[in-house]
Amino acid sequence: MATATHSAGSDTAHKVGKGVEPLRAGKGYSFLLRKLHSLSGIVPIGAFLVEHILSNFEALNGPAAYTAQVRFLNSLPLVRVLEWGFIFIPLAYHALYGVYIALRGKSNVVYYPWAGNWMYLTQRWTGYIAFVYIIQHVLRQRFMGESLPEHPGMAFHKVQMELQNPWMLAVYIIAMIAVCWHFSYGIWLFCAKWGITPGNTARKRFGYVCAALGIALCGLGLASLYAFVGPNYQNAPEDTDRPTSSISIQAPLGAPGLALETWVSDRTVLGHA
């Protein structure tokens, strides 16, 4: 029987040295963190974004309706637990880890200007815009100035005063477009990565659905901004919960030295006498 023989030199030549172990899906913390990042963009952050835009849409019905919406949200049970557990903490994780992912990635749209690469680049830049905008928005509207949870009647006026600055209005408009784009394309990415839309045909059709959702949300958001800067509510009170101040009116002729309230009261009594 013939047997195969190998020389010592051959064994040395074909010996594979120890190298870097290849990454495998599901191994390590990176896979879990990325999945959590993807999921948090839909729930709870995406759900909160939709609610926030719909709540602000109440501004079109006037300061009183907007105050009622703010009061309702702040009257929910365990509202501060909900605020921190389902808004601030998930938002901080999604934003910080998203910036970390974006800084590690490299765009090759200059060399390969395909649609997918442009979407990749746009998603990163809209994320940066949303990151900066949300920080200033939360600080200015939630933690600076009048506390809206304790004074919901001042909510409309507080936003209105901020948007009186044309630069801030421009920031809000740009941020609204960027946030709605980031969210709608994020839904498309989520469904593609989680296997909800397998195949190119399903992803293409779902892309139209996401585009329509993004346009609708952006339209609602921009309409809400118009409610604060448009002509309908320019004379909105500073606090809708505060009674309007009385106006001093001169007493009519023939009632010298009498206060208006006394004169009206006397006339009413005489009229019923």
Q: Summarize pLDDT for 92-151 with one digit per residue, the tens.
A: 999 999 999 998 887 776 666 777 788 889 999 999 999 999 999 999 999 998 899 999
pTM of the full structure = 0.77
What residues have CB less than 8 Å from 192, skipping those under 6 apart?
203
How far apart (Å, rounded) are the C-alpha atoms in residues 90 and 245? 43
For the segment 41-96, what is each residue's pLDDT rounded down to a tens digit?
A: 999 999 999 999 999 999 999 999 999 999 999 999 999 999 999 999 999 999 99
How far is the C-alpha of 64 from the C-alpha of 48, rounded, in Å?
Answer: 23
Residue 219: other Cβ atoms inside 10 A:
14
Please state, as a whole number, how many other Cβ atoms lie within 10 Å of the Cβ of residue 212. 11
Domain 28-234 of CATH type 3.30.70.1450: no
